[in-house]
């Protein structure tokens, strides 16, 4: 099979969710990204909007990692995209069948001259939080939370103040080593 397996959607006034399975291949990762952009458009976020582009990039990176590093022959990967309108937040979850021993590192490391290895760094920069959750009996879910863009205050630079020595981004044991040194005013 080379397409999504029975996409599902859940909707309520505050929470919308889309889920589908894809073949663990580059084509499956590309299809996951395209369907996420289509769903974003259906939810009121045009494909060229900053929010849609950001979610597409996060979906693309997590799906590509599932295909490249989490592939188990004969097993698909799954995408779940959830919009929490009350929190102005999208949650992207990509689940693969690879052993939990192959969890992404915190913080992501990359060789500056390398041709790859920057995907999770980009996710870390674009998401307000990201992490992994083991899946039973095997596999893992890598998730990221992206602001919906409807709450403009989260990124307005005039609402930010520098915090010397600030760290903190994500949930991992070394979370925050990639964080910039800015935080929202309270």
Residue range 145-154: mean pLDDT, rounded: 66
pLDDT band at 97 (very low <50, low <70, confident <90, very high): confident
C-alpha closest to that of 142 among 7, 32, 50? 32
The pLDDT, as a whole number, for residue 137 is 77
Partners of 133 in the beta sheet?
A: 141
The yes-or-no verdict on residue 24 having pLDDT over 80 is: yes
The pLDDT, as a whole number, for residue 11 is 58
Question: What is the C-alpha to C-alpha distance for residues 55 and 24, in angstroms, rounded to an integer?
Answer: 20
The predicted model scores a pTM of 0.70
Mean predicted lDDT score pLDDT of the chain: 74
Residue range 62-85: mean pLDDT, rounded: 87
């Amino acid at each position: 099979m080379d397409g999504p397996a029975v996409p599902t959607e859940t909707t309520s006034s505050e929470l919308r969710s889309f889920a589908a399975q894809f073949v663990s291949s580059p084509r499956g990762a590309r299809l996951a990204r395209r369907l996420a952009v289509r769903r974003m458009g259906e939810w009121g976020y045009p494909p060229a909007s900053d929010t849609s582009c950001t979610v597409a990039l996060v979906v693309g990176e997590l799906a590509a990692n599932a295909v490249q590093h989490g592939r188990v022959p004969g097993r698909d990967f799954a995408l779940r995209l959830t919009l929490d309108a009350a929190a102005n937040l999208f949650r992207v979850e990509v689940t693969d069948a690879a052993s939990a021993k192959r969890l992404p590192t915190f913080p992501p490391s990359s060789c500056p001259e390398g041709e790859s290895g920057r995907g999770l760094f980009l996710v870390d920069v674009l998401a307000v939080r990201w992490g992994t959750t083991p899946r039973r009996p095997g596999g893992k879910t890598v998730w990221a939370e992206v602001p919906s863009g409807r709450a403009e205050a989260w990124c307005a630079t005039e609402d930010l103040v520098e915090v010397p020595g600030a760290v903190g981004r994500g949930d991992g044991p070394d979370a925050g080593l990639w964080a910039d040194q800015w935080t929202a005013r309270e």
